[in-house]
Amino acid sequence: MTPDATDKCLLNAIADGLPLTPRPYETVADGLGIGEDEVLDRLERLRDSGIITRFGVVVRHRELGWRANAMAVWDVPDGLVDTVGEKIRSFPFVTLCYQRPRRLPDWPYNLFCMVHGRDRATVRQQILEINDACDLRALPQDVLFSLRQFKQCGAHYAPARPDKTKHREVA
């Protein structure tokens, strides 16, 4: 399915989270000028069609004790990226695994993977496990631990109301 303008506004309306009120979907619906049933139907369709990959609580790892978080990156030959990526995603401590473009000479890596652990030693051990399981030890690679988190919130892709096409004003 292709999301329509109202779907986009709905996703935008909940980008900062469902309100903590007894009827949160009604609150969202009121803001959009549509019915509560329609909000629920649309969310169900978006979820069933895989546009929403999950709907629920988005935890903050750091505050829950997974204090170490690293972006592990490799320069994987293009022909092997698919095989390696498919393998890496099965590790429970990996939360994201993406192929992205290299930007030479500044950035030679094309496979990105987020690894969470209670401390750095654990994360390093987990990355070793990935290297061993996927036979990546010989490849150029780097580990970028996170230091400060300046911002974490939901993405706002669309304008706020179905009847407005103007993009958010930017300071």
Partner 1 sequence: MVPGSIEQRLLNDYQRDFPLDPRPYARIAKDLGLSEDEVLQRLATLKEQGTYSRIGAVVRPNTIGASTLAAMQVPAPRLEEIAAFVSKQPEVNHNYEREHAINLWFVVAAADKDAVAGVLARIEAQTGLAVLDLPLERSFHIDLGFDLEKA
Query: 92-121: which residues touch partner 1 (CB under 8 A)?
Result: 92-101, 103, 106-107, 110, 112, 116
**Shortest approach of partner 1 to residue 109 CB, angstroms?**
9
23 binds partner 1 (CB under 8 A): yes
Q: Which two tokens stand for residue 3?
A: 């999301």
Angle at 91 between CA 46 and CA 70, to 5 degrees: 90
- Give the C-alpha distances (Å, rounded to integers) separating 49 from 1, 9, 27, 52, 54: 7, 17, 24, 8, 11
Contact between 25 and 39 under an 8 Å Cβ cutoff? The reply is yes
**Shortest approach of partner 1 to residue 133 CB, angstroms?**
14
Query: Which member of 30, 33, 82, 128 binds partner 1 (CB under 8 A)?
Result: 82
Query: Which member of 30, 64, 140, 164 binds partner 1 (CB under 8 A)?
Result: 64
Q: What is the CA radius of gyration of the chain?
A: 20
**Shortest approach of partner 1 to residue 52 CB, angstroms?**
4
22 binds partner 1 (CB under 8 A): yes
150 binds partner 1 (CB under 8 A): yes
> 140 preceded by cis ω (within 30°)?
no
